[in-house]
A and B are shown apart, each in its own frame.
Chain A
Amino acid sequence: MGPSFLKWIQALLLSFFYAHGSCSSVEQKIYVTLKNTTPCVRLLNATHQIGCQSSISGDTGVLHVLETENDLEWIAETGPHAPYMVLMESLAFTRCCVYTELYGPELANCNATVWKSTGERLLSYEDFPFPIFSLFSLPDDNETQVIRKLCDPLMDYNVWATIRPINATAKGHKQNESMVIAATRETFDYIGSSRMVYDMQNNKSVIDFDNVHSFLEIGQVGLWNKRNMWMHSDPISRRNVSVNEEVGSLVSNIKSAASTLNLSLDEPNATQALPPSSFQRFLRVRPIPGVVLADHQSSFINKYYESLYDTAEYLKVSYPPDLSPEEQLEYETEAAKLLYGFLVNSNNSYFRSLLPRDIVSKERNSIFSLSPPQYYVSLSQNQQPKSVTTFVKYVLANMTGTATSLNQSQCQNPKDVPGESKDLYLYDWVYGSESENHTKGEPFCVRAPVRLAKAVSPAFELQQYGSKEYSTWTESRWKKIEARIFLVASPQLQMLTLGVGIAVLLVSLLGTYFISSKADILFSSSHDAPNTTY
C-alpha cells in the first residue's frame, strides 16, 4: 500500500493542477451578469404609466435572437420552450414586432394636427408589462437612488441667463428690459416650463409676468435642409387685437433679420394650433405675444424627437470616416461643435474648455463620457444637476458671459472684489482651452449672468399628487435592476435527479428499516452487543 499509494496521490494532485481552474463560488459558475445595460424603468403619474415592469420576482425566458421577421412566429406561437426573451437589434424594435394581438394599437392621436407621427418605431412613452434592457450603454447617472415613498419625482434644473445682469435676490420685482434665455427640461409634460411659470406666478423667480414683453421660442430647428423655417404662433391669443399686432411686428422683425442671413421664414396657416412648446405653458397664464421657431410646418420632421432614438445615429449625423475625434469636433461650423458635444461625444476639448476646472479634473463619476450625455430627466440625486444641464449651463455662460482678470481665489470669493457681485453673476474658474499638445488648459475666471432653477413639477411642491394642471410623472422606486444569462438544466436531467433522489430515499428507508429490525441476527457475534439495533 505504501509506494504505489503515494504515486496514486501524486497522480491525483497533478490532475488537480491540470483540471481545476480557480476556486470560485458556485453562483459565478451559473450566472453571467450583463454589464453596460440600460434598463427601461417604470414611470408613473396620477393617471398613466409608461416604461417597463417585470414580474414581482423577475422574468425568465429562453433567449432567442430575432434575425428575421419569421422568427416572430416562432417566439409568439410555435416555439416549444416559451416564454422567450428576445434579443433583437434596436432597428427591429418596432410596433409590428413588439405588439401582438394582445396589445392592440390603441394610441389616441390629437384630432387636429398630428405633431408627432411616430411611425413604426416604438418610442419611449409606451407601457410594457415585461422588462427591456438596451445593450448599448448610456452613461449611468443613477448610481445612487434617493428613495422617497414608492416613487420619486422626476427633476432636474432649468438653465436661464439674462443679457443684462439682474439681481437674483430681488424676487418678484420689476426688472426692465431684460431678456431671458432659458433652456428647460420639458420632457414628461412640460416639467421645466410649468415650474418656471409657477415660480413666476408666485414671486419665486426674479422675473414675473409683468416683465414678459414677448416670447420667442426656438423649437426644433435641427433638420432644416431647405433653408426654410416656420414661425408658429397661437391663433387663440391672437384673437386679442393688441396681441395680434405685437405678434405681427415680431414676425416682421424676425423676417427682416432673417433676410440678411439668406433665410426664408414663413408662417403656417393662421388657424393651425401652436405645436407642442414651452410657450403654451406661458399662454395658459395670460395671452403673451410670441412666436415659436421650428423646422416643421405641421408634423415634426424629427420623428424621434425627445425619444430613445433622438441620437446621432438616427438623425444621420455622420462625419467623414478618417477624422479623429478632435477633427470631428472642429468639422464645419461653430454650431457643429455643440452638436458634436451633445450628440456624439461629450468628452471633447470644447466642452472641457468651458467647464469649471474642478469638474473637468474630477476622476471619479466624471460627467464626461465618450458618448452623448444622458437626456432622461431622471430623479433628483444629491440635488445635483444632470450632466446635460451642466453642459448647457456652461455653454450659456460662455456665450453670455465675459472672461475677467480675477485670479482663482477672487473668482471663488468675488464679493471681496469691488464691482463684483454674486447676486448678479455666476463666477466660475473654468478649465480654459487646451494648447496644441493636449496637456492642460489655461484656466481663467468667467463671469456670466447664468442661473439654475430647480425644475421639479409644482405638483410635488404643492403636494397635489393627482394634479391635472402639472406634471406628476415619477419614477417607480427600484433597488437593483439586472439582467443575467444562464443555462437551465434539461427536463430530462431534472427528472433524473429527482428520480434518483426519490429512489435513494426509498431504498435507504426500506434498507435501514430492514437492517435495524434484523440487527440482532446480523450483528450477533458470540460475545458482543449488536451495533445498529435498537
Chain B
Amino acid sequence: MTVAVFFGCAFIAFGPAFALFIFTIARDPLRVIILIAGAFFWLLSLLLSSLVWFIAVKASNADDTKLQKGLLIFGVVFSVLLQEVFRFAYYRLLRKANEGLAAISDEETSPISVRQMAYVAGLGFGIISGAFSMINILSDSLGPGTVGIFGDSQYYFITSALMTLAITLLHTFWGVVFFEGCEKSRWWVIVVVVCLHLLVSSLSLMNPLYEGSLPPVYVVTVGMAVWAFFSSGGSINNLSQLFTRKI
C-alpha cells in the first residue's frame, strides 16, 4: 500500500520537471548540456555551503540547542546566497559560451537565445535541488511506516512533495527572471529574486507548521510564474491572441 504514497509523492515532486524535460529539453542536445551543467553549478554551491555548515557545526558546542538552531538558520541563508552567486557565475559562463557558439555558428547568431538558456539553466537548478531535497524522503515513504507516531503531522510526505514541486518551478522562474535582469542590468530584479529565495527557504523553516509554509510558497510561485511569463516575452496580447485563434 505504501507504494501508492511513493508513486504519489514522486509524481507530485518530479511530474512537472519530467514533463518540461520531455517536451522542451530532451530533443535538443545543447539544452541537455546546459541543463546538466546548471545542475552541476548548483551542486557546487551545495558542496561549498555544506562544507561551511559542517565546519560550523563541528566547531560549535553540540549541546547548545539554541546555537545549533541559529547555525541552521545561518546555513540556510548562506546556502541561498551561495546558490545565487553560482547562478550569476553560470550566467557569466553561458554568456561567454554564447559568444563562442555564435562565432562557430553558420548563421552568425547563436543557436540558442539567452532567454532559452535562462529557462534551461533554471530548470537544471530546480531539478537537482528538488532531487536532493526529495530522494531521502522518497526512500522512507516506501514504508512500511509513516510519520506520526510521535505526534508529527501525517501529511509529511505529501507536503514535502508539494514543497519540492514548488522549489523546482521557482528555480526555473527565478532563472528566467534573473538572467533577464542581468541582460538588462536591472539590479533590483536580482535583489528581488535573492530576497524571494531567502523568503521561501526561511518559510520551510516553519515546518511542520505546513499551513504557514505551503500557501505562501505557492503564492510566491504563482507570482513568479506570471513575472517569468512577462519577462520572457509573453504579454496579455499574446494570451488573448492564443485564445482567439483557438476559437
Q: Is the CB of B72 within 8 A of A23?
A: yes
Contacts of B165 in A (CB 8 A): 504
Closest chain-B Cβ to A14's Cβ sits at a distance in Å of 10
For chain A, what secondary structure do more than half of its interface residues adopt (helix, strand, loop), or is it mixed?
helix
Contact with A along B111-136 (1 / 0, CB 8 A): 00101101100000000000000001
Residues facing B in A1-20 (CB within 8 A) are 1, 5, 8-9, 12-13, 15-17, 19-20
- Chain B contact residues, majority secondary structure: helix
**Of residues 44 to 100 in B, which have CB atoms within 8 Å of A's CB atoms?**
65-66, 68-69, 72-73
- Least Cβ distance of A362 to chain B in Å? 31
Task: Report chain A residues within 8 Å CB of B104.
Answer: none
- The CA of A534 and the CA of B65, in the complex, are separated in Å by 51
Query: Which residues of A are found within 8 Å of B207, using beta-carbon distances?
Result: 19-20
Q: Tell me whether A501 and B145 are in contact (CB under 8 A).
A: no
Q: How far is the CB of B165 from chain A (nearest CB, A)?
A: 7
Inter-chain contacts of A15 with B (CB < 8 A): 206, 209, 212
Q: Which residues on the B side are within 8 Å of A19 (C-beta)?
A: 206-209
A16 and B73 within 8 A (CB): yes
8 Å CB contacts to B: which residues of A484-511? 484-491, 493-502, 504-505, 508-509, 511
Q: Which residues of A contact B69 (CB under 8 A)?
A: 16-17, 20
Checking A13, A17, A491, A501 against B7 with a beta-carbon cut-off of 8 angstroms, the contacting residue is A501
B239 interface residue (CB < 8 Å to A): yes
| Chain B min CB distance to A116 (Å) | 40
Interface: A361 (CB within 8 A): no
Bound: A499/B205 CA distance, A: 27
Contact call A508/B19, Cβ cutoff below 8 A: yes
The reply to whether A518 and B208 form a contact with Cβ atoms under 8 Å apart is no
On whether the beta carbons of B209 and A497 are closer than 8 Å, the reply is: no
Given A26-B136, A487-B154, A505-B18, A498:B4 Cβ within 8 A: yes
Q: Which of B5, B146, B152, B192 contacts A498 (CB 8 A)?
A: B5
Q: What residue in chain B is nearest A24 (Cβ atoms)?
A: B150
**B157 interface contact, C-beta 8 A:** yes
Least distance between A137 CB and chain B CB atoms (Å)? 22
A22 contacts B145, C-beta separation under 8 Å: no
CB <8 Å contact, A531 and B8: no
Contact (Cβ within 8 A) B146 A511: no
A485 to chain B, nearest CB (A): 7
In the complex, whether A260 has a CB less than 8 A from a CB of chain B is no
**Could you tell me if A501 and B8 are in contact, using CB atoms closer than 8 angstroms?**
yes
Instruction: Return A163 CB to nearest CB of chain B, in Å.
Output: 61
Indicate the size class of the contact surface on chain B.
35 or more
Q: B150 to chain A: which residues have CB within 8 Å?
A: 29
Instruction: Flag whether B214 is at the interface (Cβ < 8 A).
Output: no
The reply to whether A532 and B119 form a contact with Cβ atoms under 8 Å apart is yes
Cross-chain contact A20 with B205 (CB below 8 angstroms): yes
Interchain CA distance A330-B239 in the complex, whole Å: 95
B-side contacts of A498, CB under 8 Å: 4-5, 7-8, 11
Determine if B8 and A31 form an interchain contact, defined as CB atoms under 8 angstroms apart: no
Known: A9-B198, A512-B24, A531-B119. Is A29-B16 also a contact (CB below 8 A)?
A: no
With a CB–CB cut-off of 8 A, which chain B residues contact A495? 4
Say whether A521 contacts B242, CB under 8 Å. yes
Indicate if the CB atoms of A12 and B149 lie closer than 8 Å.
no
- In the complex, the chain A residue whose C-beta lies closest to that of B17 is A508
Partner of B149, one of A485, A509, A534: A485
Q: Is A97 positioned at the interface, with any CB of B under 8 Å from its CB?
A: no
Distance (Å) between the CB of A152 and the closest chain B CB? 30
Let me know if B24 and A488 touch, CB within 8 A.
no
A245 to chain B, nearest CB (A): 70
- B10 proximity list for chain A (CB < 8 A): 501
Please determine whether A500 and B233 come into contact, CB atoms closer than 8 angstroms: no
Q: A20-B205, A508-B15 are in contact. Are A487 and B238 (CB under 8 A)?
A: no
Interchain CA distance A522-B20 in the complex, whole Å: 16
Q: Is the Cβ of A486 less than 8 Å from the Cβ of B19?
A: no
Whether, in the assembled complex, B215 has its beta carbon less than 8 Å from a beta carbon of chain A, the answer is: no
Residues on A with beta carbons closer than 8 Å to the beta carbon of B15: 501, 504-505, 508-509
User: Contact check: which of B157, B234, B238 meets A497 at CB < 8 Å?
Assistant: B157
B residues 1-50 touching A (CB-CB < 8 Å): 1-2, 4-5, 7-12, 15-16, 18-20, 22-24, 27-28
User: CB-defined interface of A51-70 with B at 8 Å, one 1/0 digit per residue?
Assistant: 00000000010000000000
Is the beta-carbon distance between B113 and A528 smaller than 8 angstroms?
yes
What is the bound-complex CA distance between A60 and B207, given in angstroms?
Answer: 30
Q: Is the CB of B238 within 8 A of A521?
A: yes
Q: Which of A16, A508, A530 meets B16, CB within 8 Å?
A: A508
- Nearest A-chain residue to B123, judged by Cβ: A532
Evaluate contact between B73 and A502: CB separation under 8 angstroms. no
Closest to A9 in B: B202
Asked if B176 CB lies within 8 Å of chain A CBs, one says yes
Mask of B135-169 contacts with A, CB within 8 angstroms, 1/0:
01100100111111110101111100100010000
Quick check: is B105 within 8 A (CB to CB) of the other chain?
no
Contact B113 A30 (CB under 8 A): no
Contacting residues, chain B, for A497 (C-beta < 8 A): 4-5, 8-9, 12, 157-158, 161
Q: Could you list 5 examples of A-B contacts with CB < 8 Å?
A: A5-B199, A12-B205, A30-B146, A509-B15, A513-B19
Known A-B contacts: A17-B69, A30-B146, A523-B234. Give 10 more (CB < 8 A): A5-B199, A8-B199, A12-B202, A22-B65, A30-B148, A486-B145, A502-B8, A502-B11, A524-B238, A531-B116
